[in-house]
Amino acid sequence: MVQKLGIIRKNMNPLKLELINQFVLQKQHLSTDSKINDIVQIAEDLCGLHATGTMEPYLTLFARTGNFEKSSLEKELYWNRTLGRIRCMRKTLFIHTKEMIPIAYAATKHIIEQYFTKFFEVYDISEADYQEYSKEIVKILEENELPTSEVKNRLNGYKKTSQLLGLMCDQGILIRGTPVKGWRDRRNNYALFLKYFPDINLEQYSESDAISILVKKYLKTYGPSTEKDISWWCGIGKRKVRAELDKIEDEIEKVNIIGLDHEYLMLKSDLKKLGKIAPLKKNLVILLPMLDPYIMGYKDRERYIDAEHYYYAFDRSGNVTTTIILEGRIIGVWDVVEKPEPIIKTFLFKDINDDVKRLLQIKANTLGKFITEKDVVVKECKNMEPLTERTAGNFMTPLKNC
């Protein structure tokens, strides 16, 4: 396999990092001229929206549109059902388009299934009990989607109802439906998958075909990327990724990026577009949510952050916090506090000019009002403890002690 991939033609002219970051910003609808208001198309172009948290998919879309409203995502997820939330790459929750759901499911099914055996051991549930209770849950949800508490009541208070519902979602029996109370509620109702998507066949793709499609879509969204980036993002072993890269080798070219040590892969069709992209707007400031696709698309992150600032933006597990982006690179982090008064906090890694400060102020005010639905105060923090010196989970509130 290694030898076969090695015959991919290499572009002899190293590419400028600024150009690459500009190109990815445009592909991901983050540059001024690439924003669109079709959120289904954005989910498709990003190869999924991270959906581990409640706010993150909303803020990911807010950063990429001109007139996004929270109800727009809810409409596509729960009423039009053009989008759905499933566990797939890296065993992480993503919001995918209806067309991508069977692809992501088939490509990562073997990863999710590894968890099933451990599930029964960890939660001390026999497979027989699971089969019995899961059949009962299907009957309970035949008419309406319901929250965990109601399903639990109908199972006579069975203590492991929540775990069963999660596993049934991972198996494609159920899907996570509407939130119980509003867009930021971590609790959600559960529904039968086939009620939401009666025309989706989760067995439509073989594992190999699905991985091949996923790898190509990844390169279209995030390329140029390394093999390690692809394997990490997909959560799929390097051998399987390499096998699928071999199948599409005629569509791939190797490139080098000035200032970076790795060898990168990108689609030849993308390479042709590089010379045609519009110049990036000077002082382009973007505030991204934690786990945003632009940042989480890569295992190696030196393309958009200086090494000295890495642990202010990433925790020990590689999770990215809420970031401030200037022309494609991370220059600081932000946080939101709602009580006793709504505040957007910012922390900058180094000084920025007055024009960028004014733009950051405007962006922070706009974002704060979207989140809190109130006017906010913007506060600049002068100090921040690195995320690696804190307990797990603190990347969600990076400026808590400021």
**What are φ and ψ of residue 35, in 5° steps?**
-65, 140
pLDDT score recorded for residue 277: 87
> Does 328 have pLDDT greater than 50?
yes
Task: Give the least confident one: 118-132, 203-217, 299-313.
Answer: 118-132
Distances from the Cα of 65 to the Cα of 37, 39, 368, 400, angstroms: 5, 8, 16, 28
113-118, Cβ contacts within 8 angstroms, sequence gap of 24 or more: 115/91, 115/170, 116/167, 116/170, 116/171
pLDDT score recorded for residue 3: 46
Q: What is the DSSP string of 234-253?
A: HT--HHHHHHHHHHTGGGEE
Quick one: DSSP state of residue 226? -
In tens, the pLDDT along 53-88 reads 899 999 999 999 999 999 999 999 999 999 999 999
pLDDT tier at 5, thresholds 50, 70, 90: low
CB 147 within 8 A of CB 179: no
pLDDT score recorded for residue 177: 96
In tens, the pLDDT along 17-62 reads 999 999 999 999 999 999 999 999 999 999 999 999 899 999 999 9
In tens, the pLDDT along 96-132 reads 999 999 999 999 999 988 888 788 888 888 889 899 9
> Does 1 have pLDDT greater than 80?
no
Give percent of the chain above pLDDT 90: 87
Q: Which two tokens stand for residue 88?
A: 């797939």
Sorted by where each starts, the structural domains of the chain and their CATH numbers stand as 1-280 (no CATH), 305-396 (3.30.300)
Q: Which two tokens stand for residue 209?
A: 């075909």
Q: What is the mean pLDDT of the chain?
A: 94
CB 292 within 8 A of CB 28: no
In tens, the pLDDT along 169-190 reads 999 999 999 999 989 999 999 9
Task: Kindly compute the dihedral angle of the four CA atoms of residues 3, 9, 14, 15, in this order, to the nearest 10 degrees.
Answer: -110
Q: Residue range 280-290: average pLDDT?
A: 94
**What are φ and ψ of residue 80, in 5° steps?**
-75, -30
Q: Residue range 253-277: average pLDDT?
A: 93
pLDDT tier at 165, thresholds 50, 70, 90: very high
pLDDT score recorded for residue 9: 64
Radius of gyration over every alpha carbon of the chain, rounded to an integer in angstroms: 22
